[in-house]
Amino acid sequence: MDIFGVLSLVGGLAMFLFGMNAMGQGLEKLSGSKLEIILGKLTSNPVKSVLLGALVTAVIQSSSATTVMVVGFVNSGIMKLKQAVGVIMGANIGTTMTSWLLTLTGIEGDNFFIQMLKPSSFTPILAIIGVFMTMMTKTNSKKRDIGTILVGFAVLMFGMEAMSDAVKPLADNEAFRNILTMFTNPILGVLAGAILTAIIQSSSASVGILQAVCSTGAVSFSAAVPIIMGQNIGTCVTALLSSVGANKNARRAALVHLNFNIIGTTVFMLLFYGINAIQPFPFFNEAASETHIAIVHSVFNIFATLLLLPFSNQLVKLACFAIRDKREDEAKEEQFELLDSRFLSTPAVALEQCKAVSVKMAECCRDTMKLAISLLGNYNEKDAEIIVDNENRVDDYEDKLGSYLLQLGSKDLTVNDSQAVNMLLHCINDFERISDHAVNIMESAREMSEKGLTFSKKAMEEIHIFNDALTEILDKAMVAFEHNDVELAKSVEPLEEVIDNIRTEIRNRHIKRLRKGKCTIEMGFVFTDLITNYERVSDHCSNIAVCMIQIHDNSFDTHGYLSDLKKANNKEFSEKFAEFSRKYALPEKEK
């Protein structure tokens, strides 16, 4: 092979790897959060875990990506270690789909339909369709993702053909044949396959390279089998690298993947060479084709899964024995474990994790506000400390979640995912402000307790009504956010308008009481601070609800939206406003 042949081989490999990466990314973006939903619904049924692992890997065309995702799930506590075993086994089976796709390059025949099955016939058509869909559709649309998949598949196939054509001259090269005979030694073959796969971090890609070399007819089964075994071991490197810095269960999940492939390879090799020693296989020294490679790849992974699936518990125990529990707490704080950097390579999954953490933040700030309200007239230092601790937790949520969302926002997101990231960034800021107001209310309650201040009977009645209205708007906003309930979110703004009116009316009544000497100046300051904080909390609840509605309606003009909403001809708003006005009507004014 001359320098031009080497360049053709390297160029074909580059196209192959690029095509595989582009196709995988397109499939991943198209499937979106379905990946997280599929894996999130795993049960203790090991067979179902295997099937789901195979399905997800077949979709995204990468066992490495699936196992890295599993390591992240185990690290965040979404998936138990025992659950992960079946998914890892299934991932090994699912990755064989790529090798079967690549066997299409070996199709031969003069029939028109058989000719159309050859990649050289149909990939140009796919490439034209894919390029057209990519260029003619807007960024981050589903059609563009489909176009990316088609172009990626076409480039992958062109790369495979280029590699096959580049190595064909080697079929009659004696030196090349001598090199390949080295790999008939099982140990050397396994090492070669493992090193190649560890370098490019993709068993699918390394199997594709082997299939290209096999197209020369120079690779025998005796050389191909140990290389395939080594490729399955080499692919574990990606998961092992991703587990660095993770908690012990995540590291155990990566180790389970390695143990599974090492044990499976050892048993398969002992059986294969043992049977061959007793009764030699007639095909042992024959040339292996692309289809033969796909068959061996699939048979091994199915064999290893059937062999070791009944021993899932033992694989877990072996990993636990190798990575033992330590006395010191190695885990991150539970509420932040979901924000695993490994998920950033799968944006749709990372977004689901952000939503889950945001819901925890929302629940924390709601509970904090309700606890602060309960301290009015019933102050105690224990609950006050809880409010301060919760407010610090909410600050941590905003810091960690905000940083993670900014990293996620820098990724290549779909339009919907990008809007969701922006919504979460806005909402977590409102959650943090609500918890700040909870602390302010707690401090007002503390001041009243320390100075022996009390509300008048009428003022207390008004505050109770205000409390009830604030509690309802808080519940509506948080529940709407948690369940993405747009209809419930639409009921927040009418209630916020009623709360604004309540604040204005209560303030006017307070001024009258102050003039009549029924309230002190000192108590007046506390009262004013209190109702101001209440009104600000309702404003933040409104922000959360409006942000959700805007994302749903693809509208981003907040002032325009609120203006249209409050117009007299908006029947739904008017009816809700009237309903809440009656429900939270203040008692009659003092004479």
User: Apex CA 545: angle with CA 508 and CA 402, to 5°?
Assistant: 110
Given this model, what pLDDT does residue 532 score?
A: 92
CA 572 – CA 457 distance, rounded (Å)? 36
In Å, what is the CA distance from 176 to each residue of 172, 206, 216, 218, 400? 8, 19, 11, 8, 55
50, 93 in Cβ contact below 8 A?
yes
Q: Which residues, other chains included, contact 13 with Cβ-Cβ below 8 Å and sequence gap of 6+?
A: 159, 163, 209
CA 493 – CA 187 distance, rounded (Å)? 71
Given this model, what pLDDT does residue 290 score?
A: 82
CA 11 – CA 3 distance, rounded (Å)? 12
Q: What sections of 32-118 are H helices per DSSP?
A: 34-40, 46-60, 63-76, 81-94, 96-102, 112-116
Q: What is the DSSP string of 540-583?
A: HHHHHHHHHHHHHHT---HHHHHHHHTSTT-HHHHHHHHHHHHH
Given this model, what pLDDT does residue 565 score?
A: 59
CA neighbor of 547 nearest in space, from 430, 432, 431, 427: 427
Neighbours of 404 (CB within 10 A): 23
pTM for this one?
0.59
| Matching residue, tokens 């090994």 | 92
User: Could you tell me how many residues make up the chain?
Assistant: 591
| Matching residue, tokens 């994790």 | 353
User: Apex CA 188: angle with CA 184 and CA 190, to 5°?
Assistant: 95
CATH code reported for the domain at 348-583: 1.20.58.220
Residue type, 520: T
Looking at the DSSP assignment, which residues form a beta bridge with residue 101? none
Residues of the chain with CATH 1.20.58.220: 348-583
Given this model, what pLDDT does residue 333 score?
A: 46
Give the model confidence (pLDDT) of 307-337 as tens digits. Answer: 998 988 898 888 888 887 654 444 444 456 6
Given this model, what pLDDT does residue 37 score?
A: 57
550, 539 in Cβ contact below 8 A?
no
| Matching residue, tokens 């939903």 | 37
Given this model, what pLDDT does residue 117 score?
A: 56
The mean of the pLDDT values for the chain is 80
Torsion of CA 179, 183, 187, 189, to 10 degrees: 110
CA 576 – CA 587 distance, rounded (Å)? 21
Given this model, what pLDDT does residue 2 score?
A: 64
CA 565 – CA 423 distance, rounded (Å)? 20
CA 50 – CA 40 distance, rounded (Å)? 14
| Matching residue, tokens 């390591």 | 71
5, 169 in Cβ contact below 8 A?
yes
| Matching residue, tokens 């290549």 | 412
Given this model, what pLDDT does residue 330 score?
A: 43
Neighbours of 122 (CB within 10 A): 16
Residues of the chain with pLDDT under 50: 327-334
CA 183 – CA 21 distance, rounded (Å)? 29
CA 146 – CA 143 distance, rounded (Å)? 5
CA 239 – CA 251 distance, rounded (Å)? 9
CA neighbor of 358 nearest in space, from 259, 302, 287, 429: 429
SS (HEC) of 237-295:
HHHHHHCCCCCHHHHHHHHHHHHHHHHHHHHHHHHHHHHHHHCCCCCCCCECCHHHHHH
